[in-house]
Amino acid sequence: MFIKKNFWKATTAFLLAACISLGYFTQTSYAEEDLMEFAKKSGYPIKEGYRPKASIVIDADSGQILWEEQPDLSWSPASIAKVMTMYLALEAIEQGKFNLDTTVTATEKYVNISQIYALSNNKIALGVDYPVRDLFSMVAVPSSNVATLMLANLVSDNDEAGFIRKMNEKAAELGMTNTTYFNCSGAQISAFGGFYQAPGIDPDGDNKSTARDLAILTYHLIKKYPDVLQFTNKPVVTTMENTPYAETFETYNYSLPGAKYGYEGVDGLKTGSSPTGGFNYIATAKKGDARLIEVVLGVGDWSDQEGEYERHLAGNAILDHAFSTYEYKKLLSKGSNTINQKEVTLEQDFYGFVKKDTEPNFTLADGKLSLKNEHGQVSPKIPARSVQYQESNSKETDGSSTKLEGKKTVPSSSTKKEGHNYLVTGVLTILGLLLLILSKVFRKRIAGVRRGSRKMSTPTTRLLFILGILFILSAVSVFIFL
């Protein structure tokens, strides 16, 4: 009777394991949905040849990753390098070194740089005083190289090599572990016709970064200096207004509302393109209480200027996927909650991003409750969103449990029976792990065949994965019930 009863318990556990593993597989497949497929569904189809080499989307408030593909691929960010220059300029303003009304006088050197046709620029007139606020607009919208150098030299007191070292030091401080700067603007120093001098810096060096690192930079930029968006959120800007030197520029960020591929909620931030980097894009977008940061790198090829537009179709598709897949909402209420079979009291309501139509999972550690996320945080230096809690321990329950265990009668054959259970559990666990490893191996091989794509599943990898989970959970059921 005892064996029959527990056999049905084990069978029930096995069926539950099947349901859990199938549900887990469905969620994993959804998380790894192919970019080209969901782009087509979103209404922003990506043409073959214009798939981004790397991309990432994070929650601008917590650093939680919502989407990623090749986030650590080393890439030339081109003019996106100007974002670090703006960061350091805003930091200098915060430190009181100058303000937005401070002016930089145009020297002959700056006039000469402004006339280099191969560089993106704007007109600079000799002897004219250019306010910092206008330099910011020139950097952000027409991506002016001369304005970028004028801003960098203001920060560094004309120590051009020192400013580049400062860029790399700040990158390291922020946790941008795969970023190296060789210039302040994205254009190689050698392209400035000798007017940009940085002793000790390779003049032909090409800046390198990753989608993850650029997302980290933008996260800190928006956190510390949210007013930067005033320079990036308009489709058309005019600099030096009410002066003879006024210029009007249309943005290269075609995802801004009012621009060619306007997407609701986009309010910045910077584009970049170059022969080595193709077409790149950082976007910030806000809907309701949710703000996202997106980085898209390597769309198309410099020889085909269509990539300038296609990067925004790709960016819109990825943003739309993140907004439609996730929702920001209250996950737990202040007060008493049961989390992971523990009674805890939260000091305040807890909000976060979760996939729609799914139940959130949490971790409890060191007095903090955090949201579990399949993709993790964009940087280990940015902690997951959390809330303080206090745990309610019931000593009476623990004591009664110990007392009941003390009364348990142990059969004389228990040692043999336990040894048999351990053997069965061990065998099932090993088989399960082997099947999971095989499913990963096959998926990697498939990903290798489909160059540039994420790991994809097939009926074979799906079966191996499910069987692996079933074996492992069956091992658990044998250990518990038999």
Tens digits of residue pLDDT in 178-225: 999 999 999 999 999 999 999 999 999 999 999 999 999 999 999 999
* pLDDT band at residue 340 under the 50/70/90 scheme: confident
Euclidean distance between CA atoms 152 and 90, whole angstroms:
11
Q: For 137-179, what is each residue's pLDDT tens digit?
A: 999 999 999 999 999 999 999 999 999 999 999 999 999 999 9
Mean pLDDT, the chain, integer: 83
Token couple for 348: 């305040």
Tokens 């350091």, located at residue: 88
Euclidean distance between CA atoms 116 and 251, whole angstroms:
21
Q: How many CB atoms lie within 10 A of CB 426?
A: 12
What do you get for the CA distance between the two ends of the chain, in Å? 13
Tell me the percentage of the chain whose pLDDT exceeds 90: 56
Across 248-262, average pLDDT: 93
186 HSE (CA, 13 A, CB side): 36
* pLDDT band at residue 391 under the 50/70/90 scheme: confident
Report phi then psi at 16, rounded to 5: -60, -40
Cβ distance 253 to 259 under 8 Å?
yes
Cis peptide before 269 (omega within 30 of 0): yes
Domains of the chain (ranges plus CATH)? Answer: 2-32+417-481 (no CATH), 36-326 (3.40.710.10), 328-391 (2.30.140.20)
Token couple for 175: 């946790």
Q: How many CB atoms lie within 10 A of CB 453?
A: 17
Which residues are part of the catalytic machinery?
79, 82, 143
- Which string of DSSP letters, residue by residue, matches 375-440? S-BS-TTSPPPEEEEEE---HHHHHHHHHHHHHPPPPTTHHHHHHHHHHHHHHHHHHHHHHHHHHH
Report phi then psi at 380, rounded to 5: -65, -15
Q: What is the pLDDT of residue 31?
A: 38
List beta partners, residue 294.
57, 283
Euclidean distance between CA atoms 420 and 409, whole angstroms:
19
Q: What is the pLDDT of residue 411?
A: 42
404 HSE (CA, 13 A, CB side): 6
Q: Is 270 annotated as a binding residue?
A: yes
Longest dimension (CA), the chain: 101
Across 42-51, average pLDDT: 85
Cβ distance 46 to 39 under 8 Å?
yes
Q: Residue 107, by phi and psi: left (phi above 0), alpha (psi -120 to 50) or beta?
A: beta
Alpha carbon separation from 416 to 128, 175, 422, 427, 430 (Å, rounded)? 93, 55, 10, 17, 21
Q: What is the pLDDT of residue 451?
A: 44
Euclidean distance between CA atoms 239 and 130, whole angstroms:
10
Q: Residue 189: which of 49, 38, 306, 81 has the closest Cα?
A: 81
Cβ distance 256 to 25 under 8 Å?
no
Query: Which DSSP letter does residue 55 get?
Result: E
Higher pLDDT, 2 or 201: 201
* pLDDT band at residue 47 under the 50/70/90 scheme: confident
Among 219-233, 324-338, 410-424, top mean pLDDT goes to 219-233
Q: What is the pLDDT of residue 109?
A: 97
Q: What is the pLDDT of residue 398?
A: 39
- Which string of DSSP letters, residue by residue, matches 169-184? HHHHHHT-TT-B-SSS
In the 3-class helix/strand/coil scheme, how is 292-350 assigned residue by residue? EEEEEEEECCCCCCCHHHHHHHHHHHHHHHHHHHEEEEEEECCEEEEECCEEEEECCCE
